[in-house]
Chain A
């Protein structure tokens, strides 16, 4: 039943309008929102790519460095968003020596980059740079989301260079019944898309993500924002997240073409049919220890899509870490900070 009178509603609307008016002025004055909190230095650059090393936070970090490979969509500062929401800081605090691949912003000159460029050339050079720096044969690799799929490919092709592999919210079986992204792209003519546009605009991908939950993500979220206008910290946290959401790099056309067709539309990764360069990716070649981290309420990469790795990879030391939360919460929620980096570090330090 609606226990509301017209007067109550009028009062609520008036209060809302008042907060909105004040808050709009506050918002306009906030200016640029900065992201990324941990100290780091670039140690390798190639084209748009930059490889960073984060400053260790313990005196003697673990001897085997950890390289994080983020997705090509969205920006990797989600891993180090702010002081109290930083997966990278958690890994550093746990004693790891952390490196991160920042893919940068592809432009028109990058439209011919293929998945082979990303998986073999760029990742290969980054792995080599870290191996050389630490004088080790093999390093630890952590792939995030799409970066996890790229990491699986790289590890399958170059197993001797990777000591332990961690995949985080990584799709492996792209055609589980609950995979909405696959459902949306299934009938898109990917060749027409890439042939027409060259690079795929980040804005177009944003549309796909927003379309999964538009009334919450494009509506209610902004109405709720009015409630925190007078909380400077909460407002900055919101804006930081908002910046990340809309900071979507365009996707290099040819790499997108192959990823969309081979991974989403034809589900070739689980079938062992993905070809990178001229080599077939067989996940059974991955015999090193694997930790597969997934989120139980992930609406972008459903748990079943990640857990399919158990049946495909060749590792006898395969473990899963289930996080109770969503695709974004696994990086930034308070519980994620307490649970995920320590668990990853403990798993690595035991190997």
Chain B
């Protein structure tokens, strides 16, 4: 009899997984801090709390839209809602489809352009879900306010944000449109991979 151990997998944890999400969480904290600063100013000026909240979410949506156009503007903020996009990119990379290493010959093909367009559609769907999540979060915060309840820590607020994203993302995931897009994305990637240019 032997004590069983699994040796085929390295089993070494990738610390970067934690660090990436921790950085995204800290970016989230920065956004909330901006909001509370403005909220403090609004309170001093006796502005309506709900109005201040709405303004902040509007600004946040603009920031997210900007990070969608160009994640480099605020990469950590972008990472918050680009979780799935990141995961997809990593999957594509394991298949040898890392954007930065694609040969020029493949980039010039229609299959590659189709894949890029499909990936763009996919990211747009993710961004739309992220926007809806912010709407939902705003709604839930207002409901809490009406119920006289308070979110008293950054983590609590982050967890609410996660819940709202899972909610809106989950609805999107189960839609017929997403099922079709998901299939189209896989198939487009595979068509690139099957091109002789991809193997060079």
Chain A residues within 8 Å of B, Cβ to Cβ: 1-6, 8-10, 12-13, 16-17, 20, 23-24, 27-28, 30-41, 52, 55, 75, 77, 80, 104-105, 180, 183-189, 192-193, 195-197, 201, 203-204, 206-207, 210-216, 218-220, 222-223, 225-226, 239, 242-243, 246-247
Contact = CB atoms under 8 A, between A and B. Distances in A.
A212 B182 CA distance: 12
A107 B171 CA distance: 37
Q: Which 3 A-B pairs have the closest CB atoms?
A: A187-B183, A36-B4, A3-B150
B56 to A, nearest CB: 10
Interface of B: 1-6, 8-13, 15, 17-22, 24-26, 29, 32-33, 35-37, 39-40, 49, 53, 80, 83-84, 86-88, 90-91, 94-95, 141, 144-145, 148-155, 157-159, 162, 165-166, 169-170, 173-174, 179-180, 182-184, 186-187, 190-191, 193-194
Contact of A223 (B25, B86, B145, B150): B25
A6 B37 contact: yes
A223 B174 contact: no
B21 A239 contact: no
Contact of A220 (B5, B10, B87, B162): B162
Contacts of B180: 187
Contact of B155 (A12, A23, A197): A12
Contacts of B91: 203-204, 206-207
B36 A9 contact: yes
Give chain B's interface secondary structure class: helix
A189 B84 contact: no
B37 A220 contact: no
A41 B190 contact: no
Contacts of A226: 18, 22
Given A180-B173, A192-B187, A207-B91, A105 B8 contact: yes
B84 to A, nearest CB: 5
B22 A2 contact: no
B186 A1 contact: no
B36 A6 contact: yes
A279 B43 CA distance: 75
A219 B164 CA distance: 13
Contact of B21 (A187, A189, A206, A222): A222
10 contacts: A16-B29, A52-B4, A80-B4, A104-B8, A180-B174, A189-B190, A218-B84, A220-B162, A222-B20, A243-B13
Contact of A13 (B26, B37, B95): B26
Contact of A239 (B13, B94, B184): B13
A27 B15 contact: yes
B83 A218 contact: yes
Contacts of B152: 3-4
A36 B6 contact: yes
A200 B194 CA distance: 14
